[in-house]
Amino acid sequence: MTKDGDAVALNWAKKNWHRVVVHGVCIATLFILAYYYLFAQLATPIRFVMLRTGTIGLILLVASFACTPAARILHWQGAIQIRRALGLYGFLFTAIHLFAYAWGDNEFDVELILRDLDERRAMLIGTIGFALLIPLALTSTRGWQRRLGRRWKILHRLVYLALPLAVLHYLLLDRDFIQLPLVFGAVVAILFLLRITRRLNLSMRDRTPKILAFLLQFLLVQH
Ligand code: HEM
């Protein structure tokens, strides 16, 4: 590469370091999981992949959900620029999680899977959560955003359902320790609170001049 080319590439990397970090970490994680699956001589490699992709997928989905409040609190627009990539990687890891479950635990036997969904609430809840993520992933491109207009925003509110369901899925697994799912639950609850308080603040700010004008008019009429 020429010196000019180097400088352009360096400038781009400096401006987009957050994108580079997200893609770099997620792709490296996929390679590490593939390495463990193929070469680490684990007793049950597919179960290892299933469990790790579940946790990593959830972390990425929560991270994507955290981007909007983070951008506001930290005054950093970069968080908005990585929101979609984090969400899509989250979806990819949970899709691998589901694939590993269908393959490793059930050998793609549909009857077995349906029976499991019927018997274990956690599995049914996880499936609903994952199903809600599918339209979000499919319409995540700018083209779909433009095509759907206002409806895109409404559709993407499905994440408000999908994320709590994913945490509930984790919480309801038959485990002795529930500290980690509770931590995820607390983080998601805080993120919801941040969004709700922001909405309330905005709507109060919109209404305050109208309320003041009404009060002023009322007082003037009384006099
Ligand atoms: C939004 C989608 C989902 C997310 C974020 C998610 C996340 C997780 C997490 C964090 C764990 C715990 C991993 C660990 O302990 O290391 C887990 C476990 C598990 N998940 Fe999911 N999951 C999702 C959907 C599903 C679906 C659709 C299924 C299958 C129908 C499924 C099946 C399982 C199974 C079998 C386990 C292990 C249970 C055990 O301990 O034996 N998950 N998942």
The predicted-structure confidence for 1-23, as pLDDT tens digits, reads as follows 677 888 998 898 889 999 999 99
Confidence check: pLDDT of 209 > 90: no
Closest CA to ligand 1's atom 40: 173
The reply to whether ligand 1 has any atom less than 6 angstroms from the CB of 173 is: yes
Flag whether pLDDT at 39 surpasses 90.
yes
Query: Where residue 140 falls among pLDDT bands split at 50, 70, 90?
Result: very high
What is the overall mean pLDDT for the chain? Answer: 93
pLDDT of residue 134: 98
Q: How far is the CA of 55 from the centre of ligand 1 (A)?
A: 8
Q: Is the CB of 170 under 6 A from ligand 1?
A: yes
DSSP string, 119-171: H-HHHHHHHHHHHHHHHHHHT-SHHHHHHHTHHHHHHGGGHHHHHHHHHHHHH
The pLDDT of residue 222 is: 67
Alpha helices in the chain (DSSP H): 3-15, 17-39, 45-74, 78-100, 110-119, 121-138, 142-148, 150-155, 159-171, 179-222
- Supply the residue whose CA is at minimum distance from atom 39 of ligand 1: 173
Q: Is any ligand 1 atom within 6 A of the Cβ of residue 98?
A: yes
Per-residue b or e along 63-95, where b marks 16 or more CB atoms closer than 10 Å to that residue's CB: bbbbbbbbbeeeeeebbeebbbbbbbbbbbbbb
Instruction: Specify the pTM.
Output: 0.90
Q: Going by CA atoms, what residue is nearest to atom 5 of ligand 1?
A: 58
Residue 69, ligand 1, Cβ within 6 A = no
* Residue range 136-157: mean pLDDT, rounded: 95
Residue that has been written with the tokens 């949970």 in this structure: 94
Place 187 in a pLDDT band, splitting at 50, 70 and 90: very high
